[in-house]
Amino acid sequence: MSELQDSLALVAPYLDRYGYAAVAGALLLESFGLPLPGETMLIAGAALAAEGELHLAPLLICAWLAAVLGDNVGFAIGRFGGRALVVRYGARIGITESRFASVESFFHRFGGQVVLVARFFALVRQLNGIVAGTAGMGWWRFLAYNAAGAALWVSAWGFGVYYFGQSLAHVVARLHGLGYLIGLLALIALVAAIALYNRRHRREGLGGRAPG
């Protein structure tokens, strides 16, 4: 609990001074890659709402809008910046044209599901939009799944802390204590899934070739 309490105490002055804008700003910047405590800010904001110092509805709306906008900034960075870098220099670090094509194919098929759940995991949350944009996922599809995922995430933390504050505290503390470890495992799982998909895709391609 002490680690969570320390994190909440760290963001409390910003919430006291800037209120909803502090939550929105942290989530906006965190959502396109900056290592800021957006989730902690949301939890602290919901706790203040439960105490009557903030209103829950505008808090959730601000958090949702900031999360969606931030992820879309990340998507634009990936589409217009990261993608160009991968195409130009990827081969130097082992990202060949065929491997990149497999990543694009994976996101074309499973990108919606990845984006939907990505916000629930640290690290993956920060990289979500950038990776989807770099992999060439369609923007409208990304926007729809991202908006839905952000709504689920904001609602889970916002309503959870607001209505079950003290009884949820030990769960929150455990999740924050393991947050980046769980996020790293989720990121590894995503890379492994892409690698397995790439291997299967290559085998299917070889099996479909006519004998010479």
- CB distance 157 to 46 below 8 Å: yes
Angle of helix 124-134 relative to helix 139-177, nearest 10 degrees?
160
Q: Is the pLDDT of residue 212 over 50?
A: no
Whole-angstrom Cα distance, residue 140 to residue 92?
Answer: 32
Contacting residues for 186 by C-beta, under 8 A, at least 6 apart = 121, 123, 124
- For the record, the structure tokens of 89 come out as 């220099």
d(CA 42, CA 56): 11
What is residue 141's predicted lDDT score, i.e. its pLDDT? 94
Q: Rounded to whole angstroms, how far apart are CA atoms 31 and 41?
A: 13
Whether residue 161 contacts residue 46, with contact meaning beta carbons closer than 8 Å, is answered with yes
The distance of Cα 194 from the centroid of its chain, to the nearest Å, equals 17
Single-letter amino acid code for the residue at 1: M
> In the predicted model, is pLDDT for residue 1 greater than 50?
no
Could you give the angle at which helices 139-177 and 2-18 cross, rounded to 10 degrees? 130
pLDDT confidence band for 73 (50 / 70 / 90):
very high
Domain boundaries, the chain: 2-206
Q: What is the pLDDT of residues 121-130, one digit of tens each?
A: 877 888 889 8
In angstroms, the Cα distances linking 186 to 45, 123, 132, 197, 208 are 26, 9, 16, 16, 33
Mean pLDDT of 25-40: 88
- DSSP for 4-20, please give it: HHHHHHHHHHHHHHHTH
What would the pLDDT profile of 93-145 be if each residue is shown by its tens digit?
666 676 677 778 878 888 899 899 888 887 788 888 988 998 889 999 999 99
